[in-house]
Each structure stands twice: as C-alpha cells, then as structure tokens.
Structure 1
Amino acid sequence: MSFATTDLCDDNPTLLEDGRLAVLPPVFRQFGKHVRFFGRVTTLKVHEDNALVRAVLETPGEGNVLVIDGGGSLRRALVGGQLGLLAQDNGWAGIVVDGCVRDTDEINACEIGVRALGAHPQKSGKKGTGERNLRVHITGVAVNPGDWIYADADGIVVAQQKLA
C-alpha cells in the first residue's frame, strides 16, 4: 500500500477534528530500512526493561506495528539490533518506541521501520515488568491496541480505523 501521512491528514479532516486520527509530535528519529511503514497496533508499557519487548517480538508480527510506551525514558535502550532482527524475521512492519534504541547500525540493516526518541548505548533491565495490550500514551497521544499506525518521512499518524 502506498500512502503519505500528509495525504492521510488532508483527506481526513473530520477524523483529525474528532480525535479518531492523531499526529504524534515530531520528536522521533528514523531507524531501519523502511522509512514508510504501517500496520495494526500492538501495545506495551514498560520502564527501562525490555524482556516483554523480546517476548512480543518473538511472536508472529503479521504486519503489525509494536508501539512501546517507555515513558519517554532517555536513560536506557529498549530495542537493540537483536530485537530489530527478531522483528524483521517474525514479520513485524515496525516499532515505535517512546524511548531509546541502540545498535543503530544493526537496526538500520533490518527490513523494518523503527522510530524512537534517540539512541542510547546502555541496555535495559530484563525483569519482565510491564503490561501489554492496553491503552498507552506516546508523547501525550493515546494509542490503543488495534489502532493503525502510519509512518513516513513526514511523521507518524495514529488512526482508530484502517485508512484507504
């Protein structure tokens, strides 16, 4: 599917007005080979611990996008090269991290799209704490499991329904 986030916004003013379509603030850096990606949302809420991230990325992605509410932490990375490869190999379309990534050269070699606030060399904890499949807030924007993420060079939009 070919799309542009600018066109999605222009073509859906009513959805933007009533909140069924929202734009994430332009604070994310682009990683991975795919600048443009979209898919149905799977959510995680974790804090400086990526054991659940690995557990989810080990499952079939079926073209979905994993949205990780990392609380905006800039103190540790939640996704690294191994998880990028896992996401690619298991059919995930992309990952949006409200937090950091690491091993950026490895992630940039993966056939997925990744957005994160930045890169950080320190790995995360592995306690397995966190929650999955719940409403999260990414840079202040509500994202629900089953929503749709569309990302390209102009930004990231979240829609409550699949957009043509």
Structure 2
Amino acid sequence: MAFLATAEICDSNASHLASGDLRVLHPVFQIYGQCRSFSGPIVTLKVFEDNVLVRELLESRGEGRVLVIDGGGSMRCALVGGNLAQLAQNMNWAGIIVNGCIRDVDEINGCDVGVRALATHPQKSGKKGIGEKHVPVYVGGTLIRDGEWLYADSDGVLISKSELSI
C-alpha cells in the first residue's frame, strides 16, 4: 500500500472534506511508536479505565488494521502499555489511537507500530472486561465507525468513509 500524506489527502479531497466523508481529528494526540505514518481500516472499541477488551482485540490478527479506542479521554490510568504495543506489532496491527493515556513509552517507541494518545500515565487500568466492540465512537471531535479508514502522519489524523487512492 502506497503511503498517502495527510496534507496531500486534504488538498486533493476538498469535496470529501466539505461533505464529511473525510474528517480531520482535532490535533490533540501525541505521537508514539516507530511508525510515524500509518493507515488502515478501523476497528472501534469503547472502554473506560479498563483494557481487557483492548488486549482481546490486539490478540486477534490485525491484518494492517487500526484500533481506535475511545477511553472517554480519561487521564487517570493507561489503556495501552509496552506489552500491548508489542502484541499489536506481532499481530500485524498498523496502529492504535487512544482517546486516553498510554504508559511504557520507551517500550512503545521501540515497537514497529503507530500509536497516538492524549498523554502518558504510569498507572495501569482496571481489569473488569467492560466495554463495547465495533460500535461508533466519538474521538477527536468526530464520530468514527468500524470499517472506515484512518490515515495518520506527523501532520495529523484523518478518517475516511472509504479507502483513498493517489
């Protein structure tokens, strides 16, 4: 898959931006992991201060997909750490977007996966297994649906209703 720069995507898809078929996430995410640029079909997850379902999804074959986690923007614990980032790499996930916190930043930065999160926090999350998979989530100022496409690079993160080409 050829890499598409987010600025180039925006420039060449003004009509999709105007219609809402292409959306730009608010610029609130920090960049982690070795893959500063990544893209793929989206898998959504909604959890709050509990990462059992995060692990469950990352244990499945990623096949180049991107996990978008709506953690409610919680700043009280981390939803993804070094072990989960390594798991994502091993299972061929392209990236992880966390509307919340991560930890083990040095370990995550050593993984060949793209990670975006609001911040870091040293405390681990709860383990109750509560949450919802494959549901629409509201992250970064936009509604994101399972199966849409995500494009991320150093300039930002885009959500498209369908896969884009050059």
Q: Specify the TM-score bucket, using the shorter chain as the normaliser.
A: over 0.9
Question: Number of paired residues?
Answer: 164
Deviating beyond 3 angstroms after TM superposition, the runs of 4 or more aligned structure 1 residues are: none
Tell me the distance in 2 between the aligned counterparts of 1:10 and 1:139: 20
| SS of residue in 2 equivalent to 1:107 | helix
Tell me the distance in 1 between the aligned counterparts of 2:18 and 2:72: 26
Counterpart of 1:14 in structure 2 is 15
Corresponding position: 1:156 with 2:157: yes
How far 1:2 sits from its partner (Å)?
1.8
Counterpart of 2:111 in structure 1 is 110
Tell me the distance in 1 between the aligned counterparts of 2:137 and 2:61: 22
Counterpart of 2:67 in structure 1 is 66
TM-score of the superposed pair, with normalisation by structure 2: 0.98
Contact 2:27–2:140 at 8 Å: present in 1 too?
no
| SS of residue in 1 equivalent to 2:67 | strand
Contact 2:79–2:124 at 8 Å: present in 1 too?
yes
Contact 2:51–2:127 at 8 Å: present in 1 too?
yes
* Overall identity of the aligned pairs, in %: 55
Q: How does 1:93-104 map to 2 (within 5 A)?
A: 93-104=94-105
How far 1:139 sits from its partner (Å)?
2.4
How far 1:97 sits from its partner (Å)?
0.4
Gaps of 5+ in 2: none
Matched AA of 2:96: I
Counterpart of 1:139 in structure 2 is 140
Corresponding position: 1:29 with 2:30: yes
Q: State the Cα RMSD in Å.
A: 0.5
| SS of residue in 1 equivalent to 2:74 | coil
Contact 2:43–2:67 at 8 Å: present in 1 too?
yes
Counterpart of 1:43 in structure 2 is 44
Corresponding position: 1:127 with 2:128: yes
